[in-house]
Amino acid sequence: MLTELMRSAAPRLAAYGYLLTGSQAAGEDLVQDAVVKVFVRRRRLPNVQAAEAYVRAAMRTLHLDRVRREARWRRVAPGLVAAEVGPDHAEALADEDAFRRALASLTAQERTAVVLRYYDDLTVAATAAAMGLADGTVKRYLSNALAKLGERADSLELLGETAAIVSRRTS
């Protein structure tokens, strides 16, 4: 009976499997699973047409079960997977971007004065000498720059942070 069924109905069963699954390979797998399920037990099938109908019914049932199982798995699986907790770089990038925008709001002279005074840790007089300006001009640049940066301090979240101070030996 199995040999006769596969000889006469295999193309029709494969086409039916294709229509159910949308894939040639998955359709063929479905035919194979249904044939195994039907013929693993001895059933009283009067003829090949009845066997084909029984295999089609088994294909339909197997396919619907698979669809339901996959739908359930898609609902349940995300909750089973532990959320990958990694560092969130978005906040650091946002802070860096805000800091760059704050620095961009400074004029070239203001930025130079801030870098020389606070990054290079020069005195106001040394900063003025390096820039070739009067002390008062450097103080004005620093005041303007700190006011501009102070306006943006909330977005920079730098209020609680301090820079390391390194003492320099003068000889």
Report the alpha-carbon distance of residue 28 to residue 17 in Å, rounded: 6
Three-state secondary structure string covering 56-125 = HHHHHHHHHHHHHHHHHHHHHHHHHCCCCCCCCHHHHHHHHHHHHHHHHCCCHHHHHHHHHHHHCCCCHH
pLDDT score for 160:
43
Fold of 89-156: Arc Repressor Mutant, subunit A (1.10.10)
**8-state DSSP, 12:** H
pLDDT digits over 29-72, tens only?
A: 999 999 999 888 877 888 989 889 899 999 999 999 988 888 88
Record the pTM. 0.45
The crossing angle, in degrees rounded to 10, of helices 48-80 and 24-39 is: 120
Report the alpha-carbon distance of residue 2 to residue 11 in Å, rounded: 14
- Tens-binned pLDDT, residue by residue, of the chain (171 aa): 888 988 999 999 999 899 888 889 999 999 999 999 988 887 788 898 988 989 999 999 999 998 888 888 888 777 766 666 667 778 778 777 877 787 788 888 888 888 788 878 889 999 999 888 899 999 999 999 888 887 766 555 544 444 444 455 555
Length of the chain: 171
State the amino acid at position 80 in one-letter form. L
Q: Closest Cα partner for 70 from 121, 105, 26?
A: 26
